């Protein structure tokens, strides 16, 4: 049973759907009454609207994880408390604070909304202090964060699952390419054993601190060979979609296993994969399917600029073949 505000939500293709606001107490109570366990794949639901459900059903991942991940400031505070490096940052509630922060921390930096920002929404890259007025006119207000721009060589993410008994499985690190703040494609496993070890250590710290149950992702910038944590997602993650074809057990199956208290499945990679998002429009399916080893996923959503409508995954046994097939696929995909 799903709850979504849109009757055409992709979930409705596979299970009954309740239609209503995700924070509507009546609909949530209905959902809880019919469910042994409630989970979510979107983190912008007020924790307070889920609290009453905890009396009638289990919420997994825990509400605390949801609440931390909704607020970039709390997220960074958690990382810092766990000795996970983050970008230098400051909370901003007024233009004067931004002026001070830009002076104290320096430029370039990124001004972001603390809440409800994802896929690059609600962000302004402040190149120098001369553009403060422009930044403020663009997204100024209360509840912002200013963080130092990270001159990263790459962006990577780790996805893993933890069960109620404390079993943890972690997927190989993925390298992610974004455009305009939104994920364009991921390559996995990424060939960085050292970074992978570090990401695993950080992920375990966060999972233990939150007594986490379910699948979680953490995104990092790689700056001079070090990981700087950017954000966490208490849910299955776009940069983990490659695991559907690319691993023994997908992130989706492991999420269900984790929240249901079942043994977790192997996260071993089956080869070398690339996952490419379809954004804003669907590419020519038949031409993509002509690429050997390519799997095509259409979410059945209405096209809208920048909207994630589907993705494809290429699985090959050799890196060189994966890269060639990825180059072929990228020629057929336009992000709009
Ligand atoms: P976010 O919504 O924080 O995941 O940001 C989306 C994308 O914007 C990231 O994946 C980066 O490509 C870019 N970005 C965000 N914050 C920073 C930063 N502090 N330094 C450099 N790039 C950033």
Query: Per-residue pLDDT for the chain (336 aa), expressed as one digit of tens each?
Result: 999 999 989 999 999 999 999 999 999 999 999 999 999 998 889 999 999 999 999 999 999 999 999 999 999 999 999 999 999 999 999 999 999 999 999 999 999 999 986 666 789 999 999 999 999 999 988 899 999 999 999 999 999 999 999 999 999 999 999 998 899 999 999 989 999 999 999 999 999 999 999 999 999 999 999 999 999 999 999 999 999 999 999 999 999 999 999 999 999 999 999 999 999 999 999 999 999 999 999 999 999 999 999 999 999 999 999 999 999 999 999 999
Q: Long-range contacts made by residues 28-33, C-beta under 8 angstroms, separation at least 24?
A: 28/3, 28/52, 28/53, 29/53, 29/56, 31/1, 31/3, 32/56, 32/57, 33/57
Residues having CB closer than 6 A to ligand 1 are 87, 110, 117-118, 120, 147, 149-150, 155, 178, 181, 219, 230-231
The SS3 of residue 289 is: helix
Asked whether the beta carbons of 170 and 217 are under 8 A apart, the reply is: no
**Residue of 86, 110, 111 with the most ligand 1 atoms within 8 Å of its CB, for mutation:** 110
Residue 220 alpha carbon to ligand 1 centre in Å: 9
Closest CA to ligand 1's atom 14: 181
Give distance in angstroms: CA of 120 to centre of ligand 1: 7
pLDDT of residue 220: 98
**What atom of ligand 1 comes closest to residue 219's alpha carbon?**
4
Q: What is the model's pLDDT at position 120?
A: 65
What's the full length of the chain, in residues?
336
CA of 178 to the centre of ligand 1 (A): 9
Is 334 in contact with 281 (CB distance < 8 Å)?
yes
Residue 44 is predicted with a pLDDT of: 85
Closest C-alpha to ligand 1, atom 7:
181
Q: What is the C-alpha to C-alpha distance for residues 194 and 216, in angstroms, rounded to an integer?
A: 21
Measuring from atom 5 of ligand 1, which residue has the nearest CA?
120
Measure 25 CA to ligand 1 centroid, in angstroms: 34
Tokens representing 280? 């804003």
The CA 119 to ligand 1 mean position distance, Å, reads 9
Instruction: State in Å: Cα 260 to ligand 1 middle.
Output: 33
Task: Report pTM.
Answer: 0.97
Distance CA 267, CA 254 (A): 9
Residue 149 alpha carbon, nearest atom of ligand 1: 20
Indicate which atom in ligand 1 lies nearest the CA of residue 230. 3
Give me the torsion for CA of 182, 183, 184, 185, rounded to 10°. 170
Taking CA atoms only, the protein residue closest to ligand 1 atom 10 is 181
Query: Residue 168 — φ and ψ, nearest 5°?
Result: -125, 135
- HSE-up of residue 152 (Cα within 13 Å, Cβ side): 21
């Amino acid at each position: 049973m799903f709850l979504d505000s849109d009757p055409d939500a992709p979930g409705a293709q596979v299970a009954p759907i309740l239609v209503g606001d995700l924070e509507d107490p009546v609909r949530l109570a209905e959902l809880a009454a019919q469910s042994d366990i409630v989970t979510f794949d979107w983190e912008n639901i007020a924790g307070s609207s889920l609290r009453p459900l905890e009396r009638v059903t289990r919420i997994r991942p825990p509400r605390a994880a949801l609440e931390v991940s909704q607020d970039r400031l709390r997220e960074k505070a958690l990382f810092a408390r766990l000795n996970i490096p983050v970008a230098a940052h400051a909370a901003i509630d007024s233009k004067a604070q931004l002026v001070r922060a830009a002076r104290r921390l320096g430029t370039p930096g990124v001004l972001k909304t603390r809440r409800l920002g994802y896929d690059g929404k609600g962000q302004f890259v402040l190149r120098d202090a001369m553009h403060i007025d422009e930044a403020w006119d663009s997204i100024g207000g209360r509840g912002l964060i200013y963080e130092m721009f990270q001159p990263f060589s790459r962006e990577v993410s780790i996805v893993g699952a933890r069960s109620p008994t404390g079993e943890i499985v972690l997927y190989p690190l993925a390298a992610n390419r974004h455009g305009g703040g939104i994920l364009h494609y991921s390559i996995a496993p990424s060939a960085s054993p050292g970074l992978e070890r570090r990401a695993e250590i950080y992920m375990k710290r966060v999972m233990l601190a939150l007594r986490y149950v379910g699948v979680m992702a953490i995104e990092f910038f790689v700056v001079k060979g070090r990981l700087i944590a950017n954000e966490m997602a208490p849910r299955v993650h776009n940069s983990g979609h490659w695991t559907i074809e690319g691993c023994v057990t997908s992130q989706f199956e492991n999420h269900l296993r984790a929240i249901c208290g079942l043994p977790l499945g192997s996260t071993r990679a089956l080869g070398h994969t690339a996952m490419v998002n379809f954004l804003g429009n669907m590419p020519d399916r038949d031409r993509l399917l002509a690429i050997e080893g390519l799997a095509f996923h259409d979410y059945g959503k209405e096209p809208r600029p920048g909207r994630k409508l589907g993705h494809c995954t290429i699985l090959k046994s050799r890196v060189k073949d994966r890269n060639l097939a990825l180059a072929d696929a990228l020629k057929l995909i336009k992000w709009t």
